[in-house]
Structure 1
Amino acid sequence: MKVVNARDSFLTNYEVLAHLNATKAKYEEEGKATGNHAMKAGNLETVMMELRDYLRHTPSATQSDEAIESFMSRAAPFQLEKVELLMIINQRPKGLAELDVLVEELESRLSEEQIEELLGLVRECFGGEEDGGEMEVDEA
């Protein structure tokens, strides 16, 4: 596999899912145009399908670029590391216990009020799972 655009940054699960959906759509269009199955590597197709299926059952399935950008700008005062922000976006913590696993030394870095404010920001930007179950969205 060839790296088209080298990046020195992290990707959210949402960005990976969006890329996979766009890649699948591209291959389907190429397949319609040529009449052949455009994706030649069977293993690649399997990996992409399984990864898409997995990501469709995670918080990334219901996120948007706008929500992520809003969260990132509004979370700046908390002075969290990029990887911590990434994990918060990917996992969408609902409580202190989940957030504590994602943010190193959480209680020594943030006050109780800041922790509640951060959890409120997560709920506001990304919503929450009312039923606590898996998420499923229609294929794009």
Structure 2
Amino acid sequence: MKILDAGTKVLSDHEVLSFIQAKRKEHKEEDAKAKADGQSVFPRPDNFLLALQRHEYHLNHKRRPFLENPNYKADESHIIQLMEALEPRLQLTKTELLMLVNQRPHNREMMLPMIEDVESRYSEGDQNFIVEKVVEVLGAARPVTPDPDQMEEGE
């Protein structure tokens, strides 16, 4: 998906990371062109650069499900495949679908906060079906170990 205007679409984690990387490349090219033309480099707002840096760090973190997923493709095919697997039986919003793709829940408890009113909309069997299809299409979950960078003192 090509992002024409940032902030107007719901995006997967990979699409956001691709956008940030493209923006960084664009900045480098603009800066190199300005230097080559003998012009001063265009200053960018510090808060914008900090936001890019934080999001890029978060999305490149080793604990992101899509980074180490052997079933993951850098296009939308895995999203479409999951949607087609769920659609005959269940109707999810795009946001709910992207939450499932980005977080890749491997049990019902992980999936519950990702779908609005899940317990009133879907039976326990349907909820298990969602998790089964996520694992089938996106791959089995990696074991989650505590991240020392994220742990607070005293834990």
TM over 0.5: yes
* Aligned counterparts of 2:9 and 2:53: Cα–Cα separation in 1: 24
* 1:51 lines up with 2:55 in the alignment: yes
Which residue identity is paired with 1:20? I
Q: Give the number of equivalent residue pairs.
A: 132
Task: Name the SS for the 2:20 alignment partner.
Answer: helix
Correspondence for 1:74: 85
Task: Name the SS for the 1:119 alignment partner.
Answer: helix
Greater relative contact order, per chain length (Cα 8 Å cut-off, separation 6+): 1
Q: Indicate the structure with greater helix content.
A: 1
* Aligned counterparts of 1:25 and 1:56: Cα–Cα separation in 2: 16
Please state how far the C-alpha of 1:44 moved relative to its aligned partner.
1.4
* 1:84 lines up with 2:88 in the alignment: no
Residue from 39, 42, 45 that aligns with 2:46: 42
Correspondence for 2:16: 16
Structure 1 pair 8–109 and aligned structure 2 pair: CA distance change class (3 A):
same
Correspondence for 1:138: none
Structure 1 pair 60–20 and aligned structure 2 pair: CA distance change class (3 A):
farther
Identity, % of aligned positions: 27
**Structure 2: tracts of 5 or more residues without a match:** 148-155
Please state how far the C-alpha of 1:55 moved relative to its aligned partner.
1.5
* Aligned counterparts of 2:91 and 2:105: Cα–Cα separation in 1: 18
* Aligned counterparts of 1:129 and 1:72: Cα–Cα separation in 2: 19
**Structure 1: tracts of 5 or more residues without a match:** 136-140
* Aligned counterparts of 2:79 and 2:43: Cα–Cα separation in 1: 31
Structure 1 pair 50–131 and aligned structure 2 pair: CA distance change class (3 A):
same
Please state how far the C-alpha of 1:113 moved relative to its aligned partner.
4.0
Which residue identity is paired with 1:76? E
RMSD: 2.9
**Do 1:12 and 1:89's aligned partners in 2 also have CA atoms closer than 8 Å?**
yes
**Do 2:20 and 2:52's aligned partners in 1 also have CA atoms closer than 8 Å?**
yes
Which residue identity is paired with 2:110? E
* Aligned counterparts of 2:78 and 2:146: Cα–Cα separation in 1: 20
